[in-house]
Structure 1
Amino acid sequence: MTDQILVLRLAGPLQSWGVRGGFAEYRDTVDHPTRSGVLGFLGCALGLPRGSAPGDLAELDLAVRVDRPGTPMEDYHTIGGQSLSEVVPSADGSRRRGAFLTRRAYRADAAYTVALTGPAALLHNLCDALDQPTYIPYLGRRACPPSAPYNLGIHPAGVDTVFTTAPLDRTAPRKKDTVTVDVIATVNPGDPAATHILNDNPLGQRRFTQRSLARTTLTLPADLCTGDNPTERYEKLHNYRYIKTN
């Protein structure tokens, strides 16, 4: 039977895919979408309560193609009620007691293509939910909304085929016929191909287990690139979802 893949395009001004829980002084991000972050994105579309167990979403596997890695950046925040001793400036010019200073990391102007595999009925249910989400999905943090379109639909192909045919959300390089991108996929624990481990497999209530991943490279034709013209980019993404070719 032919595989079915739900394809997402995760792009936006800011993204943040943290793997450290709680209100730490430094809120990190890795350089690609995490499993917990992507399942949270889908949970928003389904209307799942924040922090709930993944349920049927635990049956999904995902692989990520890094179309644009983006630029790392940090922002400064204060969080009230986390410290009994800190006194810090507030927005109105006064000083506020009981605030906690934090720095938060983001990826600016990044774009990823995510291939989701799992039961066909679940994938189709998710595809419908993404078209009419209960809550607005976000890219790791609620302050990071996704650019449209983020649902590239169901495709009857394997992950390798998706990653070699889906539009590449970047500008084509000058005087080059090919583009090299990274691909991150789940592998079995102990697999010698593993390149890193993330604590990003959600159990609910902010509890996680580890996942082994392998990062490889993929060389693609430059004509897959969407370019920087918004109209042309949208047309290529729209055609990929709705106009099937043999």
Structure 2
Amino acid sequence: MTIAPETHVLLIRLAGPLQSWGVSSRFAHRDTHARPTKSGVIGLCAAALGLDREQPLGELATVLFGVRADRPGTPLRDYHTVGGGTYPLRPRDLVTDHRRAAALETETDGVTRTGTPAGPAAPEPSPFGRHALEAWYGAPKKIAADPVSGALVSGEVRRHAMITERWYLADAAFLVGLQHPDRALLERVAHALEYPKRLLWLGRKSCPPSGELALGIEPGTLTEAFERTALLPADGIEPASARDNRLWAWIESPHPLPGVGPVHDQPVRFDANGPVHSLRWETRHRVTIAPHAREWDIIR
């Protein structure tokens, strides 16, 4: 008879004003999953450990992932515009693209270099750095060699405002569990989350976490740890689920079993050109918190 190795669960608190766990986000439309994704949480832990994008995830990718929705939060849509407005010129902009210099000369033709008005109605010259070219890009786009001079210039100089739609979860709080037989691995991750080597965020850079993240290591499985752990505290917020003490949880399965669904969310690597994922298996069920579950005394 084979005895299964003892397992441990690192509990992680993910809470903040905003969270956003994209699944199929593109530039113009950036969605959010209804809960943290394994890819997002493993990326958070990798950043805390100081791993580079090119480094293999190693044992970090082998943990079993679970998430309990203590406060699912409220979906929030952000009406966002990018790429509009004017751009103040800098000296290097004139050096790197002669077309900007030509456009600036055209706009400032009414003022001499000495500042003497060319006519009675001409404005006073403004200091360099306050000139702006309407609808011109500030950052180079589509760099290519100029056919006349051979210099590298921007192939797209006009600025076109773009409307984007970005979704967030507001005032959400999730209890995440990472299950693994190697307690030392979980201890390293827990320490890194409290003393991270890189900046951490809840899915997107505009969503920093609040309060403590690592809440300790529990023996047993994800389901057992979730059942023994009280609802995360909230300032003045009592979710409906707190009344019946039953919460939804999503638990990863190491194997495809009946009633377990596939999720394309297993992180393989986080390349700069785009992350790579594979399939994992997950099931959803209700977790009933034990009557004498451990209460929290944490920084919120």
Q: Does 1:115 align with 2:177?
A: yes
Higher strand fraction (1 or 2): 1
Q: CA deviation at 1:207?
A: 1.5
Judging changes above 3 Å, is the alpha-carbon distance between structure 1 residues 200 and 100 closer, same or farther for their aligned structure 2 residues?
Answer: farther
Q: CA deviation at 1:164?
A: 1.5
Q: Please tell me whether Structure 1 or Structure 2 has the larger radius of gyration of its CA atoms.
A: 2
Alignment partners' CA distance in 2, 1:142 and 1:54: 21
After superposition, residues 143-222 of structure 1 pair within 5 angstroms as 143-169=206-232, 170=234, 171=237, 178-187=244-253, 190-195=256-261, 197-204=262-269, 205=271, 206-220=275-289
Instruction: Quote the residue 1:141 is aligned against.
Output: 204
Q: Does 1:18 align with 2:18?
A: no
Alignment partners' CA distance in 1, 2:200 and 2:31: 20
Name which of structure 1's ranges 143-152 and 203-212 shifts more when overlaid on structure 2. Answer: 203-212
Q: CA deviation at 1:183?
A: 0.6
Q: Given residue 8 of structure 1, which amino acid in structure 2 is its aligned partner? A: I
Q: CA deviation at 1:222?
A: 7.5
Q: CA deviation at 1:68?
A: 0.6
Percent identity over paired residues: 36
Q: Given residue 5 of structure 1, which amino acid in structure 2 is its aligned partner? A: V
Alignment partners' CA distance in 2, 1:39 and 1:218: 23
Q: CA deviation at 1:224?
A: 5.7
Alignment check: 8 A CA contact 1:15 1:107 kept: yes
Instruction: Quote the residue 2:164 is aligned against.
Output: 102
Q: CA deviation at 1:211?
A: 2.5
Q: CA deviation at 1:194?
A: 2.5
Name which of structure 1's ranges 136-145 and 176-185 shifts more when overlaid on structure 2. Answer: 176-185
Q: CA deviation at 1:199?
A: 2.4
Instruction: Quote the residue 1:237 is aligned against.
Output: 297
Instruction: Quote the residue 1:43 is aligned against.
Output: 46
> Tell me, which stretches of 5 or more residues in structure 1 are unaligned?
81-87, 227-235, 240-246
Q: Which runs of 4+ in 1 moved over 6 A?
A: none
Judging changes above 3 Å, is the alpha-carbon distance between structure 1 residues 189 and 27 closer, same or farther for their aligned structure 2 residues?
Answer: farther
Q: Given residue 20 of structure 1, which amino acid in structure 2 is its aligned partner? A: S
TM-score by length of 1: 0.76
Alignment check: 8 A CA contact 2:223 2:251 kept: no
Judging changes above 3 Å, is the alpha-carbon distance between structure 1 residues 166 and 220 closer, same or farther for their aligned structure 2 residues?
Answer: closer
Judging changes above 3 Å, is the alpha-carbon distance between structure 1 residues 143 and 222 closer, same or farther for their aligned structure 2 residues?
Answer: farther
Q: CA deviation at 1:128?
A: 1.6
Judging changes above 3 Å, is the alpha-carbon distance between structure 1 residues 2 and 203 closer, same or farther for their aligned structure 2 residues?
Answer: closer
Alignment partners' CA distance in 2, 1:56 and 1:110: 29
Tell me the secondary structure at the aligned position of residue 10 of structure 2. strand
Q: CA deviation at 1:65?
A: 0.8
1:7 to 8, 11, 14: 11
> Tell me, which stretches of 5 or more residues in structure 2 are unaligned?
89-133, 137-158
Alignment partners' CA distance in 2, 1:217 and 1:140: 25
Alignment partners' CA distance in 1, 2:79 and 2:54: 25
Instruction: Report the RMSD for the aligned CA atoms in angstroms.
Output: 3.1
Alignment partners' CA distance in 1, 2:294 and 2:10: 20
Instruction: Quote the residue 2:64 is aligned against.
Output: 61
Judging changes above 3 Å, is the alpha-carbon distance between structure 1 residues 89 and 128 closer, same or farther for their aligned structure 2 residues?
Answer: same
Report how many aligned residue pairs link the two structures.
220
Instruction: Quote the residue 1:230 is aligned against.
Output: none
Tell me the secondary structure at the aligned position of residue 124 of structure 1. helix
Structure of greater relative contact order (alpha carbons < 8 Å, 6+ residues apart): 2
Q: CA deviation at 1:155?
A: 2.0
Name which of structure 1's ranges 215-224 and 154-163 shifts more when overlaid on structure 2. Answer: 215-224
